[in-house]
A and B are shown apart, each in its own frame.
Chain A
Amino acid sequence: MSMQVYLDYAATTFTAPEVVTAMTPFFTESFGNPSSIYSFSERNRKAIAKARQQVADVIGASADEIFFTSGGTEADNWALKGAAWRGRSKGNHIITTKIEHHAVLHTAQFLQENGFDVTFLDVDAEGRVNLDDIRKAVTEKTILLSVMFANNEIGTMQPVAEIGAFCREKGILFHTDAVQAVAHVPIDVKAMNIDMLSLSAHKFYGPKGVGALYIRKGTRIENFMHGGGQEKGRRATTENVPGIVGLGAAIELTSGRMAEASARIGKLRDMLIEGVMESIPHAKLNGAPSGERLPNNANFSFIGIEGETLLLDLDGAGIYGSTGSACSSGSLDPSHVLMAIGLSHELAHGSLRLTLGEEITEEDIQYVLSTLPGIVKHRREMSPLWEDYMKKIEGGR
């Protein structure tokens, strides 16, 4: 059988079989509406309560601070719009960064179009936001700061605890989009002074279409979905019981093996990075060094080739990755994250993200290392950009 290596775990994971098993009874046997008072629905109410506790335990929250949503995007929308709407009597200034996921970025832009002032902070060449820049950006009208826990493209982790301590001292709400980080790296919302945190089940072997927003007790934000009394009236709609059960089971399962998994996956990721940097001339690693980035994330740029070309060639070899090139997205601009860390258009177009997970073995990494250099060489040979680049380098000698 030909090799198939899925290296796009940051896009989505498979749902763990244990998680599917936990969810299954809630589709067919125990289908009652949790809001119905008869005993038939009791099992569902208990299952939701258990999932709420499972999520709370992993991030150091209490169960009544967890609100289920349809995913990370909804959680981000709620946090930003809810805080802005409720806080507008105090001020209209919001601070975020240039490298947020579109769920935050586009929500912030929407608020900007609707009367809020938004500061989009720069990041350094490795994708880190600077605490001094945050300090300088704060005004007396600042009501909310939203900084992601770890970046989805380059894996760089932010100094969340420092930012949290600063915001708490200043009385500014602090939201973090932790969709890529939850259950993969340790998080403690209390110790880190996080007021709101977004998470999504399908990034840690749970089902798609379910996530949660942690809202610290006493944090005043507007309710999101108006309707019935679900989620204490803050986010109406009949609960997605199987999804919520899956979220709970997945977060417990994945965080339970976090230490072992991040050590194993981190080692394979380092092997991948070292191998690529050794075997492909003029390769560039994007993002922070190991230890300051998510253990499963590698992101490279190969000057002279375009990302979509690379993805299709890799696809032909059974390797599945992603790119920040414009060509793959249908828009004209390459990744806003890669541009924000100062990459040229050429390098941003030539990026490749490989994200590892549960089923990746050393053999898989060896296979990628035996395949990728040949693909890069082949495409560079037909690239006028590579030709010009080599002439420039040789001319410079």
Chain B
Amino acid sequence: MYSEKVLDHFQNPRNVGEIENPDGVGQAGNPKCGDIMKIYLRVENDVITDIKFKTFGCASAIASSSMATELVKGKTVEEAWELTNRAVADALDGLPPVKMHCSVLAEEAIHAAINNYRRNKDLPVWEEESHDELVEHHAHHHH
């Protein structure tokens, strides 16, 4: 059902935990659908120097969180904003179709954390797509 990469990131998730006094925090998902992701950022000179996550959810949710944090670590905030759920899923060698929304949550949580950072810095926030828009967007991608 899952690729070896998904299982690896599920069993040995990277960047798990919290950052004390983070520069940005963001959360996505809700308990109703069974997934919640929380992302903590440390930003120095516009570069994400550290990132941690905590996730409640299934294997794809945990693996997506782990992979997403790996993909944006060391990137600028602008570069990190461009991370798509598709890039997360591809880096995991794919997710089962029913689990694609887990990768969307990772994108959402990172966006929320970046905007939280920008708010803390008195910078204008960037426009976030809602979960439904992202899922919709993704669905069109596929057809």
- The interface of chain A, by Cβ under 8 A from chain B, is 304-309, 312, 316, 325-328, 330, 332, 334, 344-346, 349, 381-387
Contacts and interface: CB of A to CB of B under 8 A. Distances in A.
A379 to B, nearest CB: 8
A342 B56 CA distance: 21
Nearest to B57: A306
B31 A309 contact: no
Contact of A325 (B11, B13, B58): B58
Contact of B56 (A306, A312, A334): A306
Contact of B31 (A308, A330, A349, A381): A349
B143 to A, nearest CB: 20
Nearest to A381: B16
Contacts of B34: 306, 325-327, 334, 345, 349
23 contacts: A306-B34, A309-B62, A312-B7, A312-B10, A312-B59, A327-B34, A327-B57, A327-B99, A330-B98, A332-B33, A334-B34, A344-B31, A345-B34, A381-B16, A382-B16, A382-B55, A382-B62, A383-B36, A384-B36, A384-B37, A384-B38, A385-B36, A385-B56
The binding surface of chain A is classed by DSSP as helix
Contacts of A382: 13, 16-17, 53-55, 62
A262 B63 CA distance: 41
Interface string B19-52: 0000000010001111111100000000000000
Given A306-B34, A325-B34, 16 more contacts: A308-B59, A309-B58, A309-B62, A327-B57, A327-B58, A327-B99, A328-B58, A345-B32, A349-B34, A382-B53, A382-B54, A383-B36, A383-B55, A384-B36, A384-B55, A386-B56
B61 interface: yes
B54 A383 contact: yes
A76 to B, nearest CB: 27
Given A330-B98, A345-B32, A345-B34, A308 B58 contact: yes
Contact of A346 (B13, B31, B37, B61): B31
A305 B59 contact: no
Nearest to A328: B58
Which of B31, B37, B53, B56 gathers most chain A CB within 10 Å? B56
A344 to B, nearest CB: 7
Contacts of B57: 306, 309, 327
Contacts of B10: 309, 312
Contacts of B98: 330
Contacts of A305: 56
Given A306-B58, A309-B62, A385 B31 contact: yes
B54 A306 contact: no
A122 to B, nearest CB: 21
A308 B96 CA distance: 14
Contacts of B54: 382-384, 387
Q: Which 8 A-B pairs have the closest CB atoms?
A: A327-B58, A385-B56, A308-B58, A384-B38, A349-B34, A383-B56, A346-B31, A384-B54
B27 A384 contact: yes
B106 to A, nearest CB: 14
Contacts of B62: 309, 382
B113 to A, nearest CB: 13
Contacts of A326: 33-34
A304 B59 contact: no
Nearest to B101: A332
Interface in B93-124: 98-99
A186 to B, nearest CB: 39
A383 B54 CA distance: 5
A246 B55 CA distance: 47
Contacts of A349: 31, 34
B59 A309 contact: yes
B99 to A, nearest CB: 8
